[in-house]
């Protein structure tokens, strides 16, 4: 990490404030290392973030912000306390990981203190500094990198930190809801693992099904908090809670098992929809004061699956964990029941990503037709979204939920430009967002498959992919999923498939012609196709223009009438206008030029995409094939739906 060349003479800050005093008002905290030696606290307002580091060393401490967790191109600050005086310097790393002192010192030393074992250092920085060497602090996930050494920075620069380094993903400006707490009189129940033996490997996902306690009348869950076993604050990386099929029985309880394992119980596959997510750095989740998660009625969760991600990079052995969640509930009902809508790409093998792609874009549509039918039936005035969980797997790099009303694009409902599969939790909206019958949503995911040699398929495994947005909203309506899937015929046509074997007796179905694909499943045929970056980009352009199969389903596994219909994707720009930043005015002419160029490029790209995709042939044979494949889509996809990490 902090591999440093000569950095010049040690400079002490002349703007020290509150030296040796104790910081107050820090609402958020996280342990960054496996042994609890490096702790961070932070607080923020609409302009500034203030950090306090507490590290078990009397030497220097290093802290940085990185897009991908690597040292290269990171934004770094190094400081400590030497001879009773705190010091701090702003640095940046170039593409070769060489570290340089930043000409623009954007970090402000607040205070520092030291005893015989620990150093405490506090500093602040604006969200946006207009310094190209600084990383903007936004609502997206950020990889925090850290290091420390037993000696302070000397005249020749910091000494190499050795193994005292690491990284951790945090969401600094949206770390979770911590302002509200449950009333002292609120009842609670715990969903808690009991002495789970954590495997001696880097990453483990552990799953267990629990039954929600029976209540005689309707109650509202109003807050959910993590119960992290003391000393395991850095071991338990995140916890997700899924609603399961209510027809499970007692034999399915207390069945803890490693998730995604070949011997995983079949009952786990019925747990489809995320109802809660917590990740390291989050303090808990409070529903808005007028909203609660209903339990105790016939349509409420009965069984839930708790998934715990254990992060054990040190490969420690013999760890027994009893972490979990505490759910506070009350018979004093709030005005509205909370609901969850799953939007994005219908989980299916028909969602496919070519190998070797730096940026591949997938779009999942929550169509106007689906929202119009479901909302006008129950809630013509619409519903209000208050939190969003963005979800993809290992190839995911960024996700955003685009929001349109009467074909006009609004501000994104949620986004994460630096998505981290191992760090997922609900993003609280600063303001509740109405979702109306005239609206439609597009969940846009960008993937990197550069290191893969075969196709990546939509599916349940972490090596498969998903592109989903879970919307927490109120009041609850009977809409569970609002999704889409590009029709398969156009995707097969791209690689030259002409005919499939009929009748369809196997899944994945088998290709009949041309000869080079004969007797291969469609997944094998896709893998056999000679992919290149150019062909992958052309395939991406085609898929984004293909007609799509609509999923519009209810909670009880029933369907709205729009379900299964084939519709065309709405014509929308592939890029949104960037939000203005404090730096925009400093480079207005440059930004205008760039925007104009981008607009021209986008228009050209859109035109190219439109011309490269062709309408499905009108022959009766091809029409029949399309209908058949659409039917297969409806049948096969329903057996693959466990949106999980």
Active site residues: 205, 391
DSSP 317: S
Q: Which residues contact 178 (CB under 8 A, 6 or more apart)?
A: 27, 28, 283, 284
Are 303 and 245 a contacting pair, CB within 8 Å? yes
CA distance linking residue 47 with residue 128, whole number of Å:
8
Q: CA–CA separation, 639 vs 186, rounded Å? A: 39
Name the one residue in this structure whose structure tokens are 């080079």.
Answer: 516
Produce one character per residue of 242-255: b if its CB has 16 or more CB atoms within 10 Å, e if not: bbbeeebeeebeee
Q: Whose CA is closest to 238, among 425, 388, 466?
A: 425
Q: Which residues contact 588 (CB under 8 A, 6 or more apart)?
A: none
- Among 134, 629, 70, smallest CA distance to 350 is for 629
Copy the structure tokens of residue 292.
Answer: 């609660």
Rg, Å, the chain Cα set: 26
> Sign of the CA dihedral 591, 592, 593, 599?
positive
Q: If you write DSSP's letter for every residue of 492-528 in order, what string do you get? A: HHHTT--EE-SS--SSS-BEEESGGGTT-BHHHHHHH
**Distance in angstroms (rounded) separating the CA atoms of residues 288 and 386:** 8
Q: Phi then psi for 157, rounded to 5 degrees? A: 100, 175
Residue 476 and residue 379: Cα distance in Å, rounded? 9
């Amino acid at each position: 990490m902090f591999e440093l060349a000569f950095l010049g003479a040690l400079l002490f800050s002349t703007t020290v404030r509150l030296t040796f005093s104790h910081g107050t008002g820090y609402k958020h905290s996280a342990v960054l290392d496996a042994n609890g030696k490096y702790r961070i606290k932070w607080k923020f307002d609409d302009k500034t973030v203030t950090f306090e580091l507490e590290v078990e060393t009397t030497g220097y401490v290093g802290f940085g912000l990185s897009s991908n967790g690597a040292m290269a191109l990171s934004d770094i600050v190094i400081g400590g306390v030497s001879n009773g005086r705190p010091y701090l310097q702003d640095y940046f790393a170039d593409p070769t990981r060489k570290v340089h002192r930043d000409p623009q010192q954007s970090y402000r030393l607040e205070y520092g203190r030291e005893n015989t074992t620990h150093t405490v250092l506090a500093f602040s920085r604006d969200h946006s500094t207009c310094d190209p060497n600084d990383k903007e602090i936004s609502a997206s996930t950020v990889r925090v990198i850290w290091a420390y050494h037993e000696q302070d920075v000397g005249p020749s620069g910091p000494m190499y930190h050795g193994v005292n380094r690491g990284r951790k993903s945090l969401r600094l400006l949206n770390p979770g809801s911590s302002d509200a707490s449950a009333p002292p009189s609120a009842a609670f129940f715990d969903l808690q693992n009991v002495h789970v033996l954590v495997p001696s490997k880097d990453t483990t996902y552990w799953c267990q099904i629990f039954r929600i306690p029976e209540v005689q009348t309707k109650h509202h869950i109003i807050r959910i908090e993590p119960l992290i076993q003391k000393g395991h604050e850095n071991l338990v990386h995140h916890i997700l809670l899924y609603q399961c099929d209510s027809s499970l029985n007692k034999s399915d309880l207390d069945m803890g098992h490693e998730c995604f394992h070949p011997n995983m119980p079949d009952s786990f596959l019925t747990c489809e929809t995320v109802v809660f997510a917590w990740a390291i750095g989050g303090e808990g989740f409070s529903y808005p004061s007028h909203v609660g998660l209903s339990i105790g009625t016939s349509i409420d969760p009965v069984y839930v699956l708790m998934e715990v991600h254990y992060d054990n990079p040190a490969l420690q052995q013999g760890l027994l964990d009893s972490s979990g969640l505490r759910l506070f509930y009350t018979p004093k009902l709030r005005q509205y029941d909370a609901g969850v809508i799953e939007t994005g790409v219908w989980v299916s093998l028909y969602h496919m990503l070519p190998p070797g792609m730096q940026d591949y874009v997938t779009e999942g549509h929550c169509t106007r037709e689906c929202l119009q039918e479901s909302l006008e039936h129950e809630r013509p005035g619409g519903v209000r979204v208050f939190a969003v969980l963005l979800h993809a797997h290992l190839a995911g790099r960024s996700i955003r939920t685009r929001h349109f009303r009467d074909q006009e694009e609004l501000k994104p409902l949620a986004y994460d430009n630096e998505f981290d599969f191992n760090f997922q939790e609900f993003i609280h909206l600063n303001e509740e967002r109405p979702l109306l019958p005239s609206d439609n949503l597009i969940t846009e995911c960008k993937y990197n498959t550069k290191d893969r040699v075969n196709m990546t398929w939509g599916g349940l495994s972490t090596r498969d992919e998903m592109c989903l947005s879970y919307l927490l909203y109120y009041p609850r309506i009977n809409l569970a999923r609002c999704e889409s899937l590009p029709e398969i015929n156009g995707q097969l046509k791209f690689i030259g498939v002409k005919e499939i074997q009929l009748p369809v007796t196997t899944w994945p179905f088998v290709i009949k012609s041309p000869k080079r694909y004969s007797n291969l499943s469609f997944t094998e045929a896709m893998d056999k196709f000679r992919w290149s970056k150019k062909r992958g980009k052309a395939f991406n352009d085609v898929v984004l223009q293909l007609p799509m199969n609509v999923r519009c389903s209810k909670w009880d596994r029933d369907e709205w009438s729009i379900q299964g219909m084939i519709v065309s994707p709405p014509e929308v720009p592939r890029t949104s206008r960037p939000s203005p930043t404090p730096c925009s005015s400093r480079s207005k002419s440059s930004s205008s030029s760039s925007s104009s160029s981008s607009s021209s490029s986008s228009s050209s790209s859109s035109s190219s995409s439109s011309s490269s995709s062709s309408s499905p042939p009108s022959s009766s044979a091809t029409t029949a094939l399309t209908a058949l494949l659409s039917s297969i889509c409806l049948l096969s996809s329903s057996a693959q739906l466990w949106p999980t990490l």
